[in-house]
Structure 1
Amino acid sequence: MMFADLKQQVIDHSKEIGIDKIGFASVDVFSTLKERLKTQQALNYQSGFEKGTNEERTTPTKLMPEAQSIISIALAYPTKIKDAPRNTKEERRGQFCRASWGTDYHHILRDRLEKLGEFLQDQHPDVKYKIMVDTGELADKEVAARAGLGYTGKNTVLITPEYGSYVYLGEMITNIPFAPDQPVEEDCGDCTLCLDVCPTGALVQGGQLNAQKCIAFLTQTKDFLPDEFREKIGNRLYGCDTCQAVCPKNKGKNFHFHTEMEPDPDVVKPKLKPILKISNREFKEKFGFIAGSWRGKKPIQRNAIIALANYKDQTAVQDLIELMKKDPRPVIRGTSAWALGKIGADEGRNAILAAREHESDESVLAEMEKGLSFFDEPVHS
């Protein structure tokens, strides 16, 4: 009975500290997830960003031996920008996905969970807990689904009845035996919109994602982007919202509950050309506080180059030539050469031919050949 009262106190306090939804789950093994992980690994569908072994990812007591329950929280984030900047031919812009708007959500959720932990300590001095936000071993959406916050959609994200899938998730493993909540009895029904529109076919079937083909993952890689995905990323600099944007459960969902989540329009839809020349210090000053900066400057610059190529932006040719000739990073030099070919200006073709004479990196030379192949009469040495 004491823990039932404490549970209600935790729920009440969660509302006071800015948690939009809270639920409680058992620490039983996530056996269905364990089997799915084995399948994902066998098919090479994982991103490589995952943390921990299959046992650690599915057995809460492996992470905290005295674990008795898990508290799962959700915070809703905005989906629309007030006064969004226009994307013009003179100043083309890229975009960061909605989950990267505002202050890095890891900090926001950790703050809420730490406040919840402090409250628990005041109420129950013997409490022990372990906080995880996205980068922990447990799968946030699996915990949230078990805790009754929502259900996992065919697009593999958690969908809540109130906020759709536009929520950040985090959890706290604790040694207090809170009674578990009931899972949500809902599903996607016959709807397959997310599967139908996924740009790369990364949603293999309802509930199964090939992360190696997912644009959200691809925009975070640091090497050359595989050829077949370059046009598909469009003007995305980080992440992808397509499978959520088309979801009927997200229709009309746009919540502005947390000031720190409000997007700076010029940060989340930035001009592309300035990104090509941005210094490390400038990058940290402009983008360092958002989640989309966690992999550093290089992937964002590479994606900006590809976006300019997809726009066929003639005004970017000089900047791209400069990168192709002088940037110390092969990925940036090579992607710039490819982009010059994609844009198709004679000036770019001549610059590739000239730079090729001085280039020694095989990967860059290969990209130069790809760039030259876009022209009507490819030149072969």
Structure 2
Amino acid sequence: MDFTKFKKELIQYSKSIGIDKIGFTTADPFTEMKNRLIKQQELQYQSGFEEKDIEKRTNPSLIFDKPQSIISIALAYPSKMKDAPKGKAGERRGIFAKASWGEDYHHILRRKLTELEAFIMDYYPEARCKSMVDTGELVDRAVAQRAGIGWSGKNCSIITPEFGSYVYLGEMITNIPFEPDAPMEDQCGTCTKCLDACPTGALVQGGQLNAQRCIAFLTQTKGFLAEEFRVKLGNRLYGCDTCQSVCPKNKGIDFHFHEEMEPDPNLAKPELTPLLSISNREFNESFGKMSGSWRGKKPIQRNALVALAHFKETSAVPEIITVLKNDPRPVLRGTAAWALGKIGGEEAKNALLTAKEKESDEEVLKEVEDGLSKLG
């Protein structure tokens, strides 16, 4: 079989179904990435969301029988929102990171990879394929970098010449021996804008991220946020775009190729106060199709409380007090107490004093005391 010809036909087909970039690489182990992951593990810089087995993350032959090559795909997503609503006093708004706008990208990329698989099988029935998006064993960025999709930037994102770093990545392992593409040369040069702008210093150095300090990771956790991170969160509800927004390679980049990626402005920038009392059903109906909903409403509600404190939104005090008094989740009650302390006022103070008498959870009580100390 002429695999060189087939590769060209596959590239053409990928374009016809809306894949913005495609690259090919070998199925050799990712030795450099393995060493980096071991170092990350030693430093306890991992998020905990990753596949735990580093061997599986870096050796395709452990998750696929006799792999011959890996296909990497990239889809460009929008970086600017049309008709974005503006928050104001009494109607403060939070923000979901750009990568969470529109339909969950996992579903979008899986559909594209399924179409690619079907095309491959029609052409070559003996083919075997295994596709994955983000939650698979392999490191998407390592595959994309080696397949020539882009280079791995200092902000730990894949940066493409065409679409900047605003791309979703997916890959497919196959038993077809495609000719590999050449990796792209690093083009970050001496620029350190992403490192300098990182709100929490999570970018330790170019290409090294301490996920435990990364706001994008922290917004997805379900426990109490440390004080140092609460004051850096701003109005972020899910994810963080800072290191991408300041990147010179992203200047002027904004592509709207895929209708399903277009954000609903009122979901991507939702009002904060209504989030505090949203039911599970309402949350799933409104936000369930977004990738930012994958951890449920609890982290979003906690982050909304922090954002309201950031704005010192006095109009939200009654709703925050309701959370403090009635919410069954200690993390929400405690964060509400902290938020009341930040916002201040007699109503907030009285609610905290009442909570001090009635609250039984030790962690929440600490937050109540902290809130009261902020009031003086």
- 5 Å matches for 1:343-354? 343-354=343-354
- 1:280 is matched with 280
| Letter of the structure 1 residue corresponding to residue 128 of structure 2 | K
- 1:30 is matched with 30
Q: State the Cα distance separating 1:90 from its structure 2 match.
A: 1.8
Q: State the Cα distance separating 1:25 from its structure 2 match.
A: 0.6
Provide the secondary structure at the position in 1 that maps to 2:232.
Answer: coil
- 1:257 is matched with 257
- The CA distance in 2 between the partners of 1:88 and 1:309, in whole Å, is 14
Q: State the Cα distance separating 1:78 from its structure 2 match.
A: 0.3
Q: Cα deviation per residue 1:131-154 (whole Å; 9 max; x = unaligned)? A: 100001111011001000000000
Provide the secondary structure at the position in 2 that maps to 1:374.
Answer: helix
Provide TM-score, normalisation by structure 1.
Answer: 0.98
Change (3 A) 1:52 1:174: farther
| Letter of the structure 1 residue corresponding to residue 283 of structure 2 | F
Native 8 Å contact 2:128 2:175 kept in 1: yes
- 1:50 is matched with 50
Asked if residue 4 in structure 1 is aligned to residue 13 in structure 2, the reply is: no
Q: State the Cα distance separating 1:356 from its structure 2 match.
A: 1.6
- The CA distance in 2 between the partners of 1:349 and 1:210, in whole Å, is 37
Provide the secondary structure at the position in 1 that maps to 2:375.
Answer: coil
- The CA distance in 1 between the partners of 2:350 and 2:162, in whole Å, is 56
Of 179-188 and 55-64, deviating more is 179-188
Native 8 Å contact 2:152 2:186 kept in 1: no
Q: Cα deviation per residue 1:327-366 (whole Å; 9 max; x = unaligned)? A: 0000001100110000011111111111221111001001
- The CA distance in 1 between the partners of 2:36 and 2:65, in whole Å, is 24
Q: State the Cα distance separating 1:187 from its structure 2 match.
A: 2.2
- 1:229 is matched with 229
Native 8 Å contact 2:283 2:297 kept in 1: yes
- 2:93 is matched with 93
Q: State the Cα distance separating 1:231 from its structure 2 match.
A: 1.0
Q: Cα deviation per residue 1:68-91 (whole Å; 9 max; x = unaligned)? A: 000000000001111110111120
- The CA distance in 2 between the partners of 1:206 and 1:285, in whole Å, is 40
Q: State the Cα distance separating 1:186 from its structure 2 match.
A: 3.1
- The CA distance in 1 between the partners of 2:4 and 2:200, in whole Å, is 47
Which runs of no fewer than 5 residues in structure 2 stay unpaired?
none
Q: Cα deviation per residue 1:13-64 (whole Å; 9 max; x = unaligned)? A: 0001110000001011111111101110111000000014111000011110
- The CA distance in 2 between the partners of 1:29 and 1:299, in whole Å, is 36
Provide the secondary structure at the position in 2 that maps to 1:25.
Answer: strand
Native 8 Å contact 2:153 2:186 kept in 1: no
Q: Cα deviation per residue 1:256-289 (whole Å; 9 max; x = unaligned)? A: 0000000000000000000001000000011000
- The CA distance in 2 between the partners of 1:207 and 1:86, in whole Å, is 34
Q: Cα deviation per residue 1:312-341 (whole Å; 9 max; x = unaligned)? A: 000010001111000000000110011000
State the identity %. 65
- 1:166 is matched with 166
- The CA distance in 2 between the partners of 1:231 and 1:52, in whole Å, is 31
- 2:103 is matched with 103
Which runs of no fewer than 5 residues in structure 1 stay unpaired?
377-381
- 1:293 is matched with 293
Asked if residue 69 in structure 1 is aligned to residue 69 in structure 2, the reply is: yes
- The CA distance in 2 between the partners of 1:354 and 1:242, in whole Å, is 39
Q: Cα deviation per residue 1:185-234 (whole Å; 9 max; x = unaligned)? A: 23210100000010000000000000000000000000001111001010
- The CA distance in 1 between the partners of 2:297 and 2:275, in whole Å, is 9
Provide TM-score, normalisation by structure 2.
Answer: 0.99
- 2:358 is matched with 358
Q: State the Cα distance separating 1:311 from its structure 2 match.
A: 0.4
- 2:269 is matched with 269
- The CA distance in 2 between the partners of 1:67 and 1:17, in whole Å, is 25
| Letter of the structure 2 residue corresponding to residue 41 of structure 1 | Q
Provide the secondary structure at the position in 2 that maps to 1:271.
Answer: coil
- The CA distance in 2 between the partners of 1:76 and 1:187, in whole Å, is 19
Q: State the Cα distance separating 1:375 from its structure 2 match.
A: 1.1
- 2:309 is matched with 309
Provide the secondary structure at the position in 1 that maps to 2:358.
Answer: coil
Provide the secondary structure at the position in 2 that maps to 1:164.
Answer: coil
Provide the secondary structure at the position in 2 that maps to 1:23.
Answer: strand
Native 8 Å contact 2:340 2:348 kept in 1: yes
Provide the secondary structure at the position in 1 that maps to 2:14.
Answer: helix
- The CA distance in 1 between the partners of 2:218 and 2:76, in whole Å, is 25
- The CA distance in 2 between the partners of 1:101 and 1:372, in whole Å, is 38
| Letter of the structure 2 residue corresponding to residue 275 of structure 1 | L
Of 247-256 and 81-90, deviating more is 81-90
Asked if residue 193 in structure 1 is aligned to residue 193 in structure 2, the reply is: yes
4+ runs deviating over 6 angstroms: none
| Letter of the structure 1 residue corresponding to residue 313 of structure 2 | D
- The CA distance in 2 between the partners of 1:305 and 1:71, in whole Å, is 43
| Letter of the structure 1 residue corresponding to residue 301 of structure 2 | Q
- 2:329 is matched with 329
- 1:240 is matched with 240
- The CA distance in 2 between the partners of 1:81 and 1:313, in whole Å, is 25
| Letter of the structure 1 residue corresponding to residue 134 of structure 2 | D
- The CA distance in 1 between the partners of 2:61 and 2:137, in whole Å, is 12
Asked if residue 153 in structure 1 is aligned to residue 161 in structure 2, the reply is: no
- The CA distance in 1 between the partners of 2:364 and 2:355, in whole Å, is 10
* RMSD (Å), alpha carbons: 0.7
Provide the secondary structure at the position in 1 that maps to 2:212.
Answer: helix
